[in-house]
Amino acid sequence: MSELKFQAPHGSTKRPHTEEEEEQNKMSKAEDVFIGAIDQGTSSTRFIIYHKSAKPVGSHQVEFTQFYPQAGWVEHDPMEILESVKVCVTKAVDKAIADGFNVSGGLKAIGVTNQRETTLVWSKSTGTPLHPAIVWMDVRTSSVCRRLETELFGGRSHFFESCGLPISTYFSAMKLLWLMENVDVVKEAIKNKDALFGTIDTWLIWNLTGGVKGGLHVTDVSNASRTMLMNLKTLNWDESTLQVLAIPPEVLPKIVSNSEVIGNIAAGWPISGIPISGCLGDQHAAMLGQACRKGEAKSTYGTGAFILLNTGEAIVQSEHGLLSTIAYKLGPNAPTNYALEGSVAIAGAAVQWLRDGLSLISNAAEIEALALEVESNGGVYFVPAFNGLFAPWWRDDARGVCIGITRYTSKGHVARAVLESICFQVKDVIEAMHKDSGADQSKKDEFLLRVDGGATVNKLLMQTQADLLATPVVRPAYIETTALGAAYAAGLAVGIWKEDHVFDSKDKLKNAMVFHPLMAEDSRKKKSDSWVKAVNRSFDLADLY
């Protein structure tokens, strides 16, 4: 086939501009106002620069090393994470400038969003991490959790009223306790008042604002709500919890809102002098990026899958295995929006396992084509309980199973079962949310699920999700809403945007793709029943650490 070429106007040698180029020209000629977002995730870091129109003008992303020192243990190198941020910021700024955007003069604010619950302790005097960061999915704290469940009144639910969370390996407090009990250098630093505790947001902001030379030791309400140590009502560290767990308050950061000027970036960074004015845990940032108001839910598909339902200014206590948490608080004096959350530990990570562990695919994108080689899962069900199961099951004794295998089973059936496992887990959480929120079942058909994250480019995954939920799934035109939410929080704090603009749902849904359910109800029920049987077979398959 001959190559199609643009026909230039008579007397001109230039081709017409594409719509994308026209849009870029408009942005570059408009007022030079930009907002940056650091998006530090579980497996990669990125920095995205947004024009005030909320369109990205420059970005860079790098993956970093995952360490698995023992079965069930997952660690990150905090220094490697910090270096990845530096690389991403430098490269993204260079790209935006090369494309004609005056980022160096127009960057007005920085937002930070991060993988939640991942925990580290470092030296205040040297800035050196005292142990690798313990990642949110790590289950080494099982023995700590079992001990507390035995010792404390109410067992697993002892802290539920204050923080909305059960005692679980998932949350930061348990990881901090493990470090305090098992790492001598941490014990010594705490004794000498040289230890600082933080999640990844705290580590980054401390370094960005100066580190040992006056770095700010802060976290935000959303990240603090995932530690088990913050009181959901007061938004302060809970004194009784700290006393019970013997955690010294001086190691903890100051808690701030999600949208306020925290401090300026120190010298030595290509964006020095710019204020950090937004900070949210990744799932809360995605809620903001998806413009989720009260009664609206989103699911982010990344390493794990995280489903949040905005419950407005009311804290809803779950009776079906969900967590009560913060949605967002957009300013020191702004009302607090709360949420119900269901966390799925293994979503995209299961696809990575097919790639890295079994070599069934060479890159994550190949799973869709492989799964489409077959018309169904062939009776195969896969439960990715690599490190136990989170909501609504909460079984840290569960381990992965793949059942229903026959001589008929092919790679395509396994690939489809892996994709379906992600959707089944999300379905379990959504159904629990409907029960907890008291949703009018007669209006269930009006419910839609907003989705975001890298895995949503997989159309088979999204159609399967709609089919199993029996509800529409809405994928926005721009799927990286986590970084966008961090940018929105930062921009709101410095007056670049107003809330009416951020929460303009019509604008957000304008170019969205909607996946409508196509599966018959009897097929849906049969598959769901088989999934539950598979989940039950995954229980009690692991020794507790």
Report the C-alpha gap between 34 and 487 in whole angstroms.
9
Give the strand pairing for 133-134 and 275-281: unpaired
Report the C-alpha gap between 333 and 349 in whole angstroms.
38
Report the C-alpha gap between 536 and 346 in whole angstroms.
17
Structure tokens at 360: 């069934």
Residue 164: pLDDT over 70: yes
Report the C-alpha gap between 360 and 347 in whole angstroms.
17
What local confidence, expressed as pLDDT, does residue 474 receive? Answer: 92
Whether residue 131 is found in the same domain as residue 244: yes
Q: Is residue 309 part of a domain?
A: no
Least confident stretch, 25-29, 88-92, 425-429, 490-494: 25-29
Residue 17: pLDDT over 80: no
- Residue 414 CB coordination number (10 Å): 22
In this structure, which amino acid lies at residue 129? Answer: P
Res. 437 pLDDT band, cuts 50 70 90: confident
pLDDT digit string, tens, across residues 116-146: 999 999 999 999 999 999 999 898 999 999 9
DSSP structure class, residue 303:
S
The more confident residue out of 393 and 114 is 114
CB 194 within 8 A of CB 125: yes
Identify which of 189-203, 278-292, 444-458, 477-491 has the greatest average pLDDT: 189-203
Range of the domain at 399: 348-428+522-537
Mean pLDDT of 425-451: 77
Res. 525 pLDDT band, cuts 50 70 90: very high
Res. 18 pLDDT band, cuts 50 70 90: low
Q: Is residue 135 part of a domain?
A: yes
Residue 27: pLDDT over 90: no
Q: Is residue 444 part of a domain?
A: no
Give the H or E element holding residue 283.
helix 282-289
What local confidence, expressed as pLDDT, does residue 12 receive? Answer: 38
Whether residue 48 is found in the same domain as residue 180: yes
Q: Is residue 16 part of a domain?
A: no
Report the C-alpha gap between 392 and 368 in whole angstroms.
27
Looking at 231, 262, 281, the residue that finishes a domain is: 281
Longest dimension (CA), the chain: 85
Looking at 281, 297, 324, the residue that finishes a domain is: 281
What local confidence, expressed as pLDDT, does residue 416 receive? Answer: 95
Whether residue 267 is found in the same domain as residue 368: no
Instruction: Tell which residue, 373, 374, 385, has the closest CA to residue 424.
Output: 385
Looking at 281, 305, 324, the residue that finishes a domain is: 281
CB 382 within 8 A of CB 265: no
Whether residue 260 is found in the same domain as residue 356: no
What local confidence, expressed as pLDDT, does residue 438 receive? Answer: 67
DSSP letters spanning 221-248: HHHHTTSS-B-TTT-SB-HHHHHHHT--
Per-residue CA distances from 180 to 145, 151, 186, 190, 412 (Å): 14, 18, 6, 8, 46
pLDDT digit string, tens, across residues 6-16: 233 334 344 44
What local confidence, expressed as pLDDT, does residue 509 receive? Answer: 65
Structure tokens at 368: 């869709």
Whether residue 33 is found in the same domain as residue 177: yes
Residue 447: pLDDT over 80: no
Cβ partners under 8 Å of residue 402, min gap 6? 380, 381, 382, 383, 414, 417
Whether residue 249 is found in the same domain as residue 352: no
Whether residue 120 is found in the same domain as residue 43: yes
Least confident stretch, 150-159, 184-193, 212-221: 150-159
Whether residue 95 is found in the same domain as residue 199: yes
pTM exceeding the 0.85 threshold for the entire prediction: no
Q: Is residue 331 part of a domain?
A: no
Res. 442 pLDDT band, cuts 50 70 90: very low
Domain total in the chain: 2
CATH number of the domain at 405, please: 3.30.420.40
Whether residue 176 is found in the same domain as residue 257: yes
Report the C-alpha gap between 39 and 110 in whole angstroms.
11
Residue 72: pLDDT over 90: no
Per-residue CA distances from 19 to 2, 83, 512 (Å): 24, 36, 18
Q: Is residue 469 part of a domain?
A: no
Whether residue 255 is found in the same domain as residue 368: no
What angle (nearest 5°) sits at the alpha carbon of residue 52, between those of residues 48 and 58? 25
Residue 271: pLDDT over 80: yes
Residue percentage of the chain with pLDDT more than 70? 91
C-alpha 335 chain-centroid distance: 23
Report the C-alpha gap between 69 and 138 in whole angstroms.
11
Mean model confidence pLDDT for the chain: 89
Whether residue 49 is found in the same domain as residue 196: yes
The more confident residue out of 273 and 105 is 273
Least confident stretch, 10-19, 109-118, 165-174, 206-215: 10-19
Mean pLDDT of 70-85: 94
Q: Is residue 187 part of a domain?
A: yes
Whether residue 355 is found in the same domain as residue 253: no
DSSP structure class, residue 442:
G
Q: Is residue 134 part of a domain?
A: yes
